[in-house]
Structure 1
Amino acid sequence: MSLLTNVTDHALDDGYAEAAARRSAGGTGLPGRLRARLGLAAALLLSAAVVTLGAVQAQISAPTLAKEREQLINRIQSETAAADKLQESVDALRDSVGSTQREALRKQGGDRAELVSLLAGATPVQGPGVKIVVDDAKQARTSGGGPRESSGFSDTGRVRDRDMQRVVNGLWQSGAEAIAVNGQRLTSLSAIRAAGDAILVDNKPLAPPYTVLAVGDGQRLSTAFQDSADGQYLHVLQQNYGVRASISAQDEVRLPAAPSLIVRTAKPGKGTS
């Protein structure tokens, strides 16, 4: 009887009873997984809705942006065309002024007109000479701050206005009769200056490499320049700072006339007692 009584009282195994009790207290675990899946699905739906809304807004605003972009392009093209026309007008007026000045020099100078025009840069010139090409170092930096700022040398590897000034002055001193830098004819009033990292010749910005053409006795001019202090300065820039430079005598170089000239006259003044 005791066995029957025990089977009746403990019809369910103790382990199953404990498991049943845990399920009754904390649930089966299935609703938790279901909630996680439902949360993931909701997040995906929300993301899809955001993406769809963004695409719709982009489609709505695209025509407006395209129209604004087209208007901006048209404005740029229009302003560029206007600037080109103005530049053509300036060039034409400059040529006219140059022709008038050259004619005035011819009339006033008589037999010396050709020499005066040459020295003033009023007429194109050609003949034997020298070609010097100066360029930045291959790994040139855009800013300095080193010894160059105080000593005059280029520690950045970039060619500076003072470097070109010394090259040009060295050529004049070595016997050059006429000089042009990147096609820009130099006169006695020409200025070589800097605007940031750009070099200006008579306020016209030039880009490297800088090609300097000088009319004169080619081989003699080349030798005299390289032996001069300015030629040695250029050599130092090559050896110590990586500035690239080459010099060669030319059988013939062609230099244009200066774009515009400033004609100045002197008048005798009244003496003072």
Structure 2
Amino acid sequence: MSLLTNVMDHSLDDGYAEAAARKQGDGGMPKTLRAKLGLAAGLVLAALVVTVGAAQARVAAPVVAKEREELIDRIDRETEVADKLEASVDKLRDDVSARQRAALEKSGGGGGGDLVGVLSGAVAVHGPGVKLVVNDAEEASSGGNGDPRETADFSDTGRVRDRDMQRVVNGLWESGAEAVSINGQRLTSLSAIRAAGDAILVDNKPLVPPYTVLAVGDGKNLSTRFQDSADGLYLDALRENFGIRTAISVEDDVRLPAAPSVIVRTAQPSTETEKGTS
């Protein structure tokens, strides 16, 4: 009888009773339904954030467009001013050259002024010569800090450096060049070839590869002497070892512009007359 009494008093298993209690504590909501409601709430929140962001972008767009137009207008104005100043400099340079020639002719100097202008880089010149193009290797990259030719990554060794262009220019001068320019930038005795990061500067003006070097001189002989010189062999070694691309050709007529500025700040003409001995 005690067994029948126990069955009648505890008709549900304890596990069923515990599950029923948990379900009642959750408000009777199934677990899958709660998960779906949470996902829906998250989607609604995300949509709200996107909508607010889009609205803010639409509000800010006219302001950004106006600032961009103002910046473009400012650039155009400054470029126009720079062009006018450059034209004024060219006009003044021509006037100074004309006055120099007139003064030399009056004093019996003849065409010495033209020769001085050519040698100093103050006037544009043309004549036979050579064209030398120096370019980075095809696989060259910007690299990291330090000298790229001292790194283990071969791809960083193929960039043309400022010291390479220094040797090229010095080699051309030594081989008989009478006037030299790089990417249209005329070189003078006061010119400097330097580096700023990955860029090469000529007289503080940045140049980008490929570097086209024009040199006025005895074309064929100038080309031969340069390629046989130590600097020409150095350039050939860069091509063989690091893939730097080079090409040299003899030209019947190359044209070099005048240097933008030829100013001597330290040297002064001597007014003393040297006394000879009898």
TM-score with structure 1 length normalisation?
Answer: 0.81
Are 1:128 and 2:128 matched, yes or no?
A: yes
| Range with bigger deviation, 96-105 or 157-166 | 96-105
Contact between 1:98 and 1:261, CA under 8 Å: does it hold in 2? no
CA distance, structure 2, for counterparts of residue 59 and residue 148 of structure 1: 49
CA distance 1:166–1:19, shift in 2 (3 Å): farther
Specify every segment of 5 or more residues in structure 2 that has no aligned partner in the other structure, as ranges.
none
Q: Summarize the Cα distance change of 1:69–1:201 in structure 2 as closer, same or farther, 3 Å threshold.
A: same
Q: Which residue of 2 aligns with 1:26?
A: 18
Counterpart of 2:42?
A: 47
Partners of 1:194 and 1:256 in 2: CA distance = 23
What CA deviation, in whole Å up to 9, does each residue of 1:145-190 have, x standing for no partner? 45857xxxx9721111111111111111111111111011112221
Amino acid at match of 1:141: S
CA distance in 2, matches of 1:70, 1:49: 32
What is the TM-score of this pair, normalised by structure 2? Answer: 0.80
CA positional deviation for 1:24: 5.1
Choose 252-261 or 199-208, whichever is displaced more: 252-261
Distance (whole Å) between structure 1 residues aligned to residue 100 and residue 171 of structure 2: 28
SS of match in other structure, 1:110: coil
Whether 1:77 and 2:72 are equivalent positions in the alignment is yes
Sequence identity, in percent? 47
Name the counterpart of 1:67. 62
Q: How many Å separate the matches in 2 of 1:190 and 1:212? A: 14
The equivalent of 1:36 in structure 2 is 31
Change (3 A) 1:212 1:20: same
Residue of structure 2 in register with 1:252 after alignment: 253
1:223 shift after superposition = 0.3
Q: Between Structure 1 and Structure 2, whose CA radius of gyration is higher? A: 1
Aligned residue in 2 for 1:102: 97
Counterpart among 245, 269, 273 of residue 266 in structure 1: 269
Q: Distance in 2 between matches of 1:173 and 1:96?
A: 33
Aligned CA-pair RMSD: 3.1
Contact 1:136 1:243 in 2 (8 A): yes
CA contact (8 A) 1:218 1:249 kept: yes
1:84-233 equivalence runs, <5 A: 84-107=79-102, 108=104, 109-142=109-142, 143=144, 145=146, 148=149, 156-233=157-234
Cα distance change of structure 1 residues 65 and 257 upon mapping to structure 2, 3 Å threshold:
same
In terms of mean alpha carbon deviation, does 154-163 or 241-250 score higher?
154-163
**CA deviation map 1:188-243 (0-9, x unaligned):** 22111111111111111110000001111111000000111111111111111221
Letter paired with 2:94: S
Aligned AA for 1:243?
Answer: I
> What stretches of structure 1 of length at least 5 have no aligned partner?
none
Q: Deviations over 1:1-23 (max 9, x none)?
A: xxxx9xxx79xxx9xx9984357
Q: Matches of 1:101 and 1:164 in 2, distance apart?
A: 32
Aligned positions, number: 256
Distance across 2 between alignment mates of 1:161 and 1:212? 14
Single out whichever of 133-142 and 19-28 deviates more from structure 2. Answer: 19-28
